[in-house]
Amino acid sequence: MKAFRLDELEAERASNEGAYLQFLRERNMSVGLYALNAGEHDPQKPHNQDEVYFIVSGRASITVGLETTDVARGSVVYVPAGVAHKFHHISEDLRVLVVFSPPES
């Protein structure tokens, strides 16, 4: 078993001065914590893997392909591999658990 605490992951991510911290990598998936602060720009490009976003905290909108929805704590969003997607209109600091399958390259 591997167990993680979000507060510890957030501290590690912040100390590495990056928006993304991959904290688990297995044969069929990887998991990370993604952070964007209010007003920030999301620089993501399409990925080669399917993704699931679980919003831990914050508020924003996300556009996946041609569809846009608002997200907040508790929201879950699926993004198919190769589809353009971005968070935007980030009104509260956003913390997102990201699951990639297969693992992010």
Q: pLDDT digit string (tens) for 23-50?
A: 999 999 999 999 999 999 999 999 999 9
**Cα distances (Å, whole numbers) of residue 104 to 6, 33, 39, 71, 72:** 20, 13, 26, 23, 24
| pLDDT higher than 80, residue 72 | yes
Residue 101: the pLDDT is 97
| pLDDT higher than 90, residue 89 | yes
Confidence of residue 80 (pLDDT cuts 50, 70, 90): very high
| pLDDT higher than 80, residue 53 | yes
